Amino acid sequence: MESTENLSNNNASSNFLDIPDLVKRLEAGLIDSDQLSINQCISIYKAFCSSIEQIKNSFKNKKHDFNLITTMDSIYQLKSAAIKYKNILNQSEIDLSDQNTKNIIGDPEEIYGSLTALTEEITNSLDLSDIERSLASFSNSNNPGIHILERKIIGAMSEQNFKLREKIEEESRRVFELNKTVSELNEKIEAELEKVSSYSEEKLIEIESNVEYLNKLSISVAVDQVTQKHSLRANEEKEHATFLRAVALGCLGVSAGIVLLSLIGVLDTFDWKDVTLKYGAIFFFTIPFAYLAKESNKHREAQRKYEDFDLSYSAVSGFIQSMNKEERLKLQTDLARQMLVRNEQPEKPINLKSHNENNNSDTLDLTSKILDLINRFDQKKS
């Protein structure tokens, strides 16, 4: 009875210890008097209930005195006592079909079922330490229930091992599917990023092309504005030169008419007063003629200068547009600087000897400067 002593606690130990003896005394009383003691049945039923409850509490609380071997051995003894108690009740005249009777003296089948369920609960809830401790002591037990428990534990371990392998395989499949899904998502993301990158590059190229087109268009517009401005100035100078030339020719015609009339008048009579008046008029009209002719020549030269500038700038605009941005800006800056320097030079008094030379140099000034700049850029690039 060492197992019952390890399992018992305070007053409950006496109930568990007395169950087999109580059943034996109940059987002896039935044999001797052919009568069943109801009080003894009530005591046996209470002892069964108390023992089952004690085992449940001990197992659930995992007390230090809980031992699997002694517990299973005790349950086996209780189940044997329950079977014997059932046989005794069947030999008596007590009607076990009456529920009130069962509530008083207990139902042996219910007690046996509770013990079986308790065994299942214990075996299904074993941890590794319980199993190791129990298997180490199985060889020292002659109880058939222990060997049954041993087989059940081995079967439970095998079943748990099989379930564990299935769970591992299932988790492995889930991990594989998850990795596959992640890989597919990564491929889709990379494809989308590649599409976005390609689209962005195309749009960037398109934007750069549009910017380049706008730059060229702005240069063309600027060239057109410059050439139109110089064309207008050339036309204005042309009109001024034509008008002054017409006035000068008119003055020259008047002077020539006066001279012709004077010659005709000399043939008949010679009058100093008349000659002085006539030649004074000739001199009077000759001075405006000379001045207007000079001014007309200046406007004509200005017309040629603007026309040459228009032609030169129109010719060089295509060359400027073909350069890259840095060279184009540098060339335009240098060209503008030289033009401004030329325009800011103070005007010198015009003399008839150097006037034509200055005009000729002005007409070639822009072209020579552009050619000089082009040669310098070619030398720097080489």
3-state DSSP call for residue 52? Answer: helix
2 C-beta neighbours (distance < 10 Å), count: 8
Q: Which of 137, 157, 133, 155 is nearest to 146 (CA)?
A: 137
Q: Which residue, chain included where needed, has tokens 């059943």?
A: 23
Structure tokens at 245: 């030339």
CA of residue 155 relative to chain centroid, distance: 54
* R_g of the chain computed on alpha carbons: 66
Torsion of CA 323, 328, 332, 333, to 10 degrees: -150
CB neighbours (10 Å) of residue 48? 26
Token couple for 294 = 């000079």
| Token pair for 126 | 């074993």
Q: How far apart are CA 26 and CA 36, in angstroms?
A: 7
Question: 108-124 and 68-91 helices cross at what angle (nearest 10)?
Answer: 160
Q: Are 362 and 305 in contact (CB under 8 A)?
A: yes
Q: Which of 130, 124, 115 is nearest to 53 (CA)?
A: 115
280: tokens are 């004074």
Please, what is the end-to-end C-alpha distance for the chain in angstroms? 115
Max CA distance (Å), the chain: 207
**Structure token pair of residue 142:** 């002659």
Phi-psi region of 106 (alpha: psi -120 to 50; beta: other; left: phi over 0): left
> In this structure, are residues 24 and 87 in contact, taking their beta carbons and an 8 Å threshold?
no
Closest CA to 234 of 334, 315, 303: 303
For residue 38, what are the contacts with CB-CB under 8 A and spacing of at least 6?
104, 105
* Cβ contact 44:19 at 8 Å: yes
The pLDDT tens digits of the residues spanning 102-148 come to 788 888 888 888 888 888 777 776 655 555 555 555 555 555 555 55
| Residue type present at position 272 | W
> One digit per residue, pLDDT tens: the chain, 382 residues?
333 334 334 444 444 557 888 888 887 877 877 777 788 888 888 888 888 888 888 777 765 556 666 777 788 888 888 888 888 888 877 777 778 877 888 888 888 888 888 887 777 766 555 555 555 555 555 555 555 556 666 666 666 777 777 888 888 888 888 888 888 888 888 888 888 888 878 888 888 777 776 666 666 555 555 566 666 766 777 777 778 777 777 776 776 776 676 666 655 565 666 667 766 766 776 777 777 777 777 777 777 776 776 666 666 666 666 667 777 777 767 766 766 665 555 444 444 344 445 544 544 555 666 666 666 666 665 5
For residues 144 and 141, what is the distance between their CA atoms, to the nearest angstrom?
Answer: 8
The burial class, CB within 10 Å (0-12 / 13-18 / 19+), for 170 is: exposed
Instruction: Count other C-beta atoms under 10 Å from residue 130's C-beta.
Output: 18
CA–CA distance, 168 with 159 (Å, rounded to integer): 14
